[in-house]
Amino acid sequence: MTSSSIWHPFTQHGLEPAMTPIARAAGAWLETPEGKRIFDGVSSWWVITHGHRHPKIIAAMRAQTERLDQVIFAGFTHEPAEAVADGLLKIAPEGLRYLFFSDSGSTSVEVALKMALGYWKNTGQSRSRILALEDAYHGDTIGTMSAGARGVFNAAYEPLLFEVGRIPRPKPHHAQPTFDALEIACRRGDVAAFICEPLILGAGGMLMYDADTLKEMHRICKAHDVLFIADEVMTCFGRTGTVFACQQAGIPPDILCLAKGLTGGSIPLAVTMCSAPIYDAHFSKDRSRTFFHSSSYTANPIACAAAAANLEVWRTEPVIERILAVSQSQALCLNDLAADARFVNLRQTGTITAFEIADTQAGYLANVALDLRARLLERGVLLRPLGSTVYVMPPYCTTKDELQFVYRSIVEAVDEVLS
């Protein structure tokens, strides 16, 4: 353990005085400088897909450093970026024709919101209202916090946030209130876009809903010409069992946000894909219709080389089979918890499982979370419960034995915490 002057993300330093140094990682494991191994049960904040340091992705980044490190992306392009574009267009939901690079999940969503507003402005229609789900999380920048749920995370910044139309989150087997509210909100005629996390609201508590509900939400938006933004920052590249969660509903979003698993989790990169009408609305001889967004590192070549290698891994390795195997092992482990009354609302979507610890304080600030996290870490398992919600989101290289170790550790840690 060490202390330093670094201010860490989502960390209350008053309660967590020391950070755990990590020196190495391989597959599903992190390692401290002293050689203690820690199972990465949250895929290092949901980014690592195949496992840490996939050899092809690492080799591609290394090779790229020998050719081109960085170049301004306005007025220039490069082979790794073009390879990512070609690869993504081949696998993305139908209708997505163009893509815009950025650096993080939050920026991919900011870009999506700006594309939507730009589309309506450039087509001469006054639509600027954004609709979003209750309990949503879309990032920590001002625009994405505005679209996300309001709560302790953003209370201090509330004066900076813009108002969005809030749609009730679809509850399992009870999505009608969502459809009704969406229908009413869309009918106002001033809605630019509806944004949602397909199939699973991540940071809001791993709240899951089915593909038919996603399909119906999409249908309602389309019936009212409302742009449908799929925030697949967390779900993309296999987490829900398919490359993109939207595929399970067979829906083509107008705008698709990708980050995290885009590079296999090795290096930051994000992409916002959009349909031809959105690009066309910005395409003009008139410079005022330009899509005004950039950041210094847009489409960094090393990050693009990692993403292109990730696409190659998907093309050439049995990734879906690995995902299926992890999903099946997860189901077995979850099933073993079912008889224990302390674990409730057991649920799974693809490789992700979640449940609540019964009779504990709910909400993100629930004390049980820190306590559980510390006890799991002692046992060599990295999990970050969201309040009383425990979830397991492992990399796809994870074995059944490793998962059994994780769940055994959860039970032991809960035994201690609740004793």
CB 349 → ligand PMP: shortest distance, Å? 13
Within 47-106, which residues bind ligand PMP (CB under 6 A)?
Answer: 104-106
Binding mask 2-41 for ligand PMP (x = CB under 6 A): ----------------------------------------
**Considering the rule CB under 6 A, would residue 214 count as an interface residue with ligand PMP?**
no
Q: Which member of 233, 273, 306, 354 binds ligand PMP (CB under 6 A)?
A: 233
CB 390 → ligand PMP: shortest distance, Å? 17
Q: Using CB under 6 A, which of the segments 197-205, 240-248, 292-300, 359-367 binds ligand PMP?
A: 197-205
When the beta carbons of 352 and 414 are compared against ligand PMP, the nearer one is 352
Binding mask 291-320 for ligand PMP (x = CB under 6 A): ------------------------------
Exposed, middle or buried: residue 207 (CB in 10 Å: 0-12, 13-18, 19+)?
buried
CB 338 → ligand PMP: shortest distance, Å? 27
Q: If we measure between CA atoms, which residue out of 300, 326, 346 comes closest to residue 396?
A: 326
CB 391 → ligand PMP: shortest distance, Å? 12
The dihedral sign for the CA sequence 366, 353, 204, 394:
positive
Neighbours of 314 (CB within 10 A): 20
Question: Parallel, antiparallel, or unpaired: how do β-strands 270-275 and 165-167 relate?
Answer: unpaired
When the beta carbons of 253 and 375 are compared against ligand PMP, the nearer one is 253
Q: If we measure between CA atoms, which residue out of 378, 406, 369 comes closest to residue 28?
A: 406
When the beta carbons of 78 and 138 are compared against ligand PMP, the nearer one is 138
338-to-87, 164, 210, 332, 415 alpha-carbon distances in Å = 41, 38, 21, 10, 16
Residue 290 CA, distance from chain mean position? 28
Q: Using CB under 6 A, which of the segments 149-157, 204-212, 227-235, 360-368 binds ligand PMP?
A: 227-235
Start-to-end Cα distance in the chain: 27
Asked whether 376 and 410 are in contact (CB, 8 A), the reply is: yes
155-to-149, 150, 160, 167, 304 alpha-carbon distances in Å = 10, 7, 10, 20, 36
The dihedral sign for the CA sequence 404, 407, 411, 417:
positive
Asked whether 236 and 265 are in contact (CB, 8 A), the reply is: no
Amino acid at 290: T
When the beta carbons of 104 and 266 are compared against ligand PMP, the nearer one is 104
The residues that bridge with 273 in the sheet, in sequence order, are 99, 256
DSSP 6: -
**Considering the rule CB under 6 A, would residue 203 count as an interface residue with ligand PMP?**
yes
Q: Using CB under 6 A, which of the segments 68-76, 226-234, 342-350, 379-387 binds ligand PMP?
A: 226-234
Within 242-281, which residues bind ligand PMP (CB under 6 A)?
Answer: 259
When the beta carbons of 42 and 413 are compared against ligand PMP, the nearer one is 42
Q: Using CB under 6 A, which of the segments 178-186, 195-203, 205-213, 388-396 binds ligand PMP?
A: 195-203
Q: Distance between CA 185 and CA 333 in Å, rounded? A: 41
Within 102-141, which residues bind ligand PMP (CB under 6 A)?
Answer: 104-106, 109, 137-139
Minimal CB distance to ligand PMP: which residue?
Answer: 105
Residues contributing to the site for ligand PMP (CB under 6 A): 46, 104-106, 109, 137-139, 197, 202-203, 231, 233-234, 259
